[in-house]
Chains A and B, each alone.
Chain A
Amino acid sequence: ETGVTQTPRHLVMGMTNKKSLKCEQHLGHNAMYWYKQSAKKPLELMFVYNFKEQTENNSVPSRFSPECPNSSHLFLHLHTLQPEDSALYLCASSQEYFQISGNTIYFGEGSWLTVV
């Protein structure tokens, strides 16, 4: 069993649809992240939650809406997406966000999103 699980693994949605990605971590961590991975680009940090509070929003369009009901669960709500939003969306967790050193980030298996 992986420490960070994501569902669904694959999602195809139309531009007018509303869908959600779900992430759950079983590592007892307090920080959770959403990253976007597109071909030929570095991993892009989208959102960070630390102890359920959003601490980072890297200028992400409002058609992506995160939700963190508790330290173990993270959602990414999707609505009116564009084809260029098609990518691998990775959830990750770490012990804390403001830890000075020794902080390692662990990824889930990712959700492949295709917007048609």
Chain B
Amino acid sequence: QKEVEQNSGPLSVPEGAIASLNCTYSDRGSQSFFWYRQYSGKSPELIMSIYSNGDKEDGRFTAQLNKASQYVSLLIRDSQPSDSATYLCAVNYSRTGNQFYFGTGTSLTVIP
């Protein structure tokens, strides 16, 4: 059973703070990792992808991957109210096809 676990939240941070979102996954064969942002009533939007251990930075977003601990995280620096959304962690297990497994999402609220 391939599982992706996220703390459902809600997570509240003040504007300008760092928001930290965490995700663990169960299958060591997982190869690609993604963070999607989903605004209420909208579809998921890809914001970060990471494939190898370490950090990957893109603007205010940093994804961190630790395959040994089966852990992937997303840091949002200088959080803005527009970052308020649900963040979905997705894990791609490609051995038998492009199967994406999603967590239930973490709800983030940035307080002005």
Chain B residue with minimal CB distance to A103?
B98
The tally of residues in B whose CB lies under 8 Å from a CB in A reads 26
Q: Which of B1-32 contact A (CB under 8 A)?
A: 4, 8, 31-32
- In the complex, which of the residues A45, A101, A107 contacts B32, with contact meaning CB atoms closer than 8 Å? A101
A-B complex: 3 closest residue pairs judged by Cβ atoms? A43-B102, A107-B43, A42-B102
Task: Kindly list chain A residues whose C-beta atoms are within 8 Å of the C-beta of B8.
Answer: 40
In the complex, which range does the number of interface residues on chain A fall in? 20 to 34
Report the Cα distance A47→B37, complex, angstroms: 23
The chain A residue sitting closest to B104, CB to CB, is A42
Q: Flag if B98 contacts A96 (CB, 8 Å).
A: yes
Q: Are A103 and B32 in contact, with the CB atoms below 8 A? A: yes
Quick check: A99 and B43 within 8 Å, CB to CB? no
Check if B99 sits within 8 Å of A101, measured CB to CB.
Answer: no
Chain A residues close to B by CB (< 8 Å): 31, 40-43, 45, 48, 50, 55-56, 90, 94, 96-110
B97 touching A48, Cβ below 8 Å = yes
Of A43, A101, A108, the residue contacting B31 (CB under 8 A) is: A101
Interface residues of B (CB under 8 A from A): 4, 8, 31-32, 34, 36, 42-46, 49, 51, 88, 90, 92, 94, 97-105
Find out whether the CB atom of A101 lies under 8 angstroms from the CB atom of B43.
no
Q: How far is the CA of A72 from the CA of B109 in the complex (A)?
A: 36
Contact B43 A97 (CB under 8 A): no
Contact yes or no, A108 B43, CB < 8 A: yes
A-B contact pairs, 5 of them (CB 8 A): A55-B97, A56-B99, A101-B31, A107-B36, A109-B42
